[in-house]
Structure 1
Amino acid sequence: MDLYRPADRERIVAEPPKRVSAPERTQFERDRARVVHAASTRRLAAKTQVVGPQADDFVRNRLTHSLEVAQVARDMSRALNGPASEQPDIAETAALAHDLGHPPFGHNGEDVLAELAAGVGGFEGNAQTLRILTRLEAKTFDADGGSVGLNLTRATLDACTKYPWRNGERPGPKFGVYEDDLPVFDWLRAPGAGQRQCVEAQIMDLADDVAYSVHDVEDGIVAGKIDLATLDLDGVAETVADWYVPGFDRARAEATIADLRAAGCWIAEGAAYDGSRRSQAMLKNLTSDVIGRFCGAVKEATYAAGGGPFARFGADLVVPEQTRLEIALLKGIAAHYVMKSDDRVAKMDHQRNVLSGLVEHLAATAPRDLDRQFADDWRAAGDDAARLRVVVDQVASLTDVTALAWHERLCRGL
């Protein structure tokens, strides 16, 4: 059964069939290739996931995280709809693209730019992703000479929209579109969809949660920051309650760990990570088991709820409460031992100064110090708010390394 209509395959600018000799690809396979080859995708290799990518050779960066999310999303989609479905290509593309809009220094950088852009509609990594895919990443232009970005299909763009609402339409800092990107947002959203995620976006969202909850803990264990056998459960529970699940307490943490241990998804009593190959294999098998547990539970719950087809707005993923708590616990462990560590907090202060200094300098000197494409955008901007948005686009496009280098060159006169 074909899960997608002709409208789902439409692009902002219609494209004729390729004239070059090449293997025949579906529209959604072409979308995936465009994201894989995008410059914004390559930049993810030098952007922070949790620990800076220059910290050591093992730690994950935004690119390796995105590849892992893509693998989980593809497998989840295949489990729901079978290998013959085109959906795995859509889900994988959305996963590959989901972090394109993240600025240097991870969520810390996102918070800085959100504060600096508060007067012009804010900043949010997912809204920036939509902006990159439909405007900033150059590939296709419309009849008026305006960039439409990678010119992805409607179904793929919708799958990339993690938060399908405008700034201020829901409580909290998360949103998925800036005001001047509303025309393309309105084009890609299905009539009557409101603020509901399509199921492909739900798959991407779940895969992101699963991947970073498990892999951030793995990175923390290898870095020597986390020992699952000697957890500060009071501190972990407090972090989970503050960041993810209000009311989460030590008793719930103990019960959740007991459930994971009973399923064989926890380090065995007396075992400890020591860097040996046997220990590395034990940790890798543990992460695989946990990911399988999470995805299997969601698949079973989604099938049990009935409905379908599992595409677009035909159904919703069902995440069991126990799975939600287990994911939150792992995220809380990583947050408590890595994200809230004293050395990282000190480094975050410096990162904030770097980005705020860059925005201040570039806003004062533009278009002189902007890259050519952003200098062109700045000259075409109609007012100061639009010009500040261009400066934010420029800074958000930088990697951790280039942000530091630009700050040294431009803000310190070196």
Structure 2
Amino acid sequence: MTADQLSFASRPEDSRGRLYPENLSTFRSPWQRDRDRIIHSSAFRRLKHKTQVFVELDGEAYRGDYFRTRLTHTIEVAQVARTIAGALGLNADLAETIALAHDLGHPPFGHTGEDALALLMQPYGGFDHNAQALRIVTRLERHYAGFDGLNLTWESLEGIAKHNGPVDPPLPYALAEVNAMWDLELHTNASAEAQVAAVADDVAYNHHDLHDGLRAGLFTETELLHLPVIGEAFRETDRLHPGLDSMRRRHEALRRVFGVMVEDVIAVAQNRLASLQPQSVDEIRAMDGPIIRFSKPLYQNIKAIKSFLFTRMYRAPAVVIERQKVTEVLNALFPLYMSHPDLLPQNWTAEITAATDDTLLARTVLDYVAGMTDRFAISEAQRLLG
């Protein structure tokens, strides 16, 4: 069954279009075009050197190049999104597009960097990486002759803004700015394709953070055996493939965990779609909750896995030490640029000149700092502050 056969799937011909009208491509759908623009953007390339969990130092992520970066995470999310969307008869191109864009707004140092910048920006309208992603694709990417940003379709912008659900006020200034230009109907759910991208994000990071935590030596396979889903996956692997070496055993077991999550999402969505029988994308948006989600039993199991990862990985002593160090980097750079905006690159001069008050200056500084990679932020702190 294809997307054009299903009433609740997003159809390219029904797209609400772009803020700046363009002629249709002769060989690409609107969402294939959006996808390609995202992949070719500067912000997408910078994801290669932005943290997922481990901080990148001296060109090497944590203790080796096997750990996920924000770019490899994004590619994995896009793959999962296409798989789920295809199985459900949704538009896989739109799901992939939203997945590829969902982390464009992340600053250096992952969620640690986001926490630091959110505090620094409190007096100036706040900071949120989803809102910053919208700012990037509507304003900060400046390569096209006819417009700032990437001029994405309404559906792609909606998916970036609210793939995690409706957005309640007060809005981060970057989101409010875009929404004022084009109403993204923030009070409703997003399309089913955007919901798929959100669930794919959960699937991807729950899977690969287990891989990366094991490789970093933050916990062992033995410690995972008591966890729901994971323990059973290891036991099933041992039953079917006794005597596997450690790396193959680990990969085979976690591959099974990955499969459990994906199959659960697809089964739940198929049941809910069959039961509710939505007749349009707007009916999906108007529902009282997401239609794409984990089953309640698996959701509880995933909460247990997340709790373990939070304690043993995200707040592991070695990771906490790095979090403190990189927070100091941003806490030093941001006020330095606020006090000495002349230290910003020359191509930001127009932005600085247009900044008539501290709020506009802070937003310009934020755009610059949030766009940094881990390694560049560290090198700038060393260069400017020793």
Corresponding residue for residue 285 of structure 1: 252
**Which of residues 34, 38, 41 in structure 2 aligns to 1:31?**
34
> Over the residues paired in the alignment, what is the CA RMSD in angstroms?
2.7
**Which of residues 178, 181, 197 in structure 2 aligns to 1:181?**
178
Determine whether 1:322 maps to 2:328: no
TM-score, reference length from structure 2: 0.85
**Secondary structure in 1 aligned to 2:212?**
helix
Mapped partners of 2:155, 2:337: distance in 1: 36
1:313 is displaced (CA, Å) by 3.6
Equivalent pair of 1:198/1:311 in contact (CA under 8 Å): no
Equivalent pair of 1:130/1:176 in contact (CA under 8 Å): no
Mapped partners of 1:180, 1:66: distance in 2: 25
1:213 is displaced (CA, Å) by 0.7
Work out which structure has the larger RCO, using CA pairs closer than 8 Å and 6 or more positions apart in sequence.
2
Equivalent pair of 2:15/2:155 in contact (CA under 8 Å): yes
Mapped partners of 1:394, 1:385: distance in 2: 14
TM-score, reference length from structure 1: 0.80
Choose between structure 1 and 2: higher helix proportion: 2
Alignment of 1:4-43 (within 5 A): 4=11, 6=13, 8-17=15-24, 24-43=27-46
Determine whether 1:393 maps to 2:363: no
Percent of pairs with identical residues: 32
1:122-150 Cα deviation digits (max 9, x unpaired): 011111111111111123465xxxx5311
Q: What runs of 5+ residues in structure 2 fail to find an aligned partner?
A: 285-290
Corresponding residue for residue 307 of structure 1: 276
1:278 is displaced (CA, Å) by 3.6
Corresponding residue for residue 165 of structure 1: 167
Aligned AA (1:214):
H
Mapped partners of 1:5, 1:260: distance in 2: 39
**Secondary structure in 1 aligned to 2:276?**
coil
Determine whether 1:230 maps to 2:198: no
Corresponding residue for residue 133 of structure 1: 137
Cα distance change of structure 1 residues 333 and 64 upon mapping to structure 2, 3 Å threshold: same
1:282 is displaced (CA, Å) by 2.4
Q: What runs of 5+ residues in structure 1 fail to find an aligned partner?
A: 170-174, 234-253
1:408 is displaced (CA, Å) by 1.1
Aligned residues: 361
Cα distance change of structure 1 residues 336 and 268 upon mapping to structure 2, 3 Å threshold: farther
**Secondary structure in 1 aligned to 2:292?**
coil
Corresponding residue for residue 58 of structure 1: 66
Aligned AA (1:400):
D
Cα distance change of structure 1 residues 230 and 312 upon mapping to structure 2, 3 Å threshold: same
Alignment of 1:83-94 (within 5 A): 87-94=91-98
Determine whether 1:344 maps to 2:319: yes
Determine whether 1:266 maps to 2:234: yes
1:205 is displaced (CA, Å) by 0.8
Equivalent pair of 1:46/1:62 in contact (CA under 8 Å): yes
1:241-279 Cα deviation digits (max 9, x unpaired): xxxxxxxxxxxxx6x62x554xx42356989xxxx9843
Mapped partners of 2:355, 2:70: distance in 1: 31
Q: 4+ residue stretches of structure 1 with deviation over 4 A?
A: 267-271, 308-311
**Secondary structure in 1 aligned to 2:139?**
helix
Mapped partners of 1:267, 1:177: distance in 2: 48
Mapped partners of 2:14, 2:131: distance in 1: 23
Equivalent pair of 2:119/2:126 in contact (CA under 8 Å): yes
Equivalent pair of 2:55/2:322 in contact (CA under 8 Å): no
Cα distance change of structure 1 residues 115 and 141 upon mapping to structure 2, 3 Å threshold: farther
Mapped partners of 2:269, 2:179: distance in 1: 32
**Secondary structure in 1 aligned to 2:149?**
coil
